[in-house]
Amino acid sequence: MQQGELFADPSVVVNDRLLSAGDGRTPGTFRVSRGARGIRFDWRQPRGRGSVRLGYRLALVGTAYSDVVDLRVPVWEGDWPTGVDRLTTALRYPRPAHRRVFAWIEPDSLDSTVTKTKREVRTRTAAIPAGKRVTLRVVFPRDVLESVAGLKVEKKAGLASILAERNGGHGWWPWALGAALVLILGGVALRTVRSRRPRPR
């Protein structure tokens, strides 16, 4: 959580059991408080292997450009003292997206799958080691939001630069390479056609 971001509707499900709000120390309860760097969840986790599902709503997070909104949602922190066998995330939009949505997990080295619909993005990441920070990056059309009040707003298009950054800052070279190949192939074809014409006597 950053300064100014909004948080609401927390829920905790442990081993398919929905916990109720409480002190977080009594079995079956959880507690939400403001931590050193954001929101803190506390609950008693049963021993052994198990599953936990944290749910919440976020608002005023991300950057709004004239064409898209760029969200960076941390889903596993690097200073958490354990790893996880399988991490699944689900992010639901306020309204359906009728144009293309881009979504991926950072870092790219993790074993992740991403599925997208007009209403949500779901991810599954396997074998996250302790000390590894994991971020869900989602870029969706700006008209999915009713308002961008409270977001960081950039009065320019952002999609091209975001995708270039994802490609390591080399967003232009695949297009240049493609154009060069077209020119080369065009030259080869033209030379072949000319070589087949009968030479004048």
DSSP E strand boundaries for the chain: 6-14, 17-18, 20-21, 29-34, 39-43, 52-59, 63-64, 68-76, 84-92, 102-106, 111-116, 120-128, 134-141, 152-153
Task: Please give the chain's pLDDT, 201 residues, in tens.
Answer: 666 667 788 999 999 999 999 999 999 999 999 877 778 899 998 888 888 988 888 765 789 999 999 998 888 888 877 888 999 999 998 899 999 999 999 998 999 999 999 999 999 999 999 889 999 999 999 999 888 877 789 999 999 999 998 887 544 444 443 444 444 444 444 444 444 555 554
Domain boundaries, the chain: 1-60, 62-157
Strands 63-64 and 152-153: parallel
pLDDT recorded at residue 180? 40
Q: What is the DSSP letter of 15?
A: T
How much is the pTM? 0.69
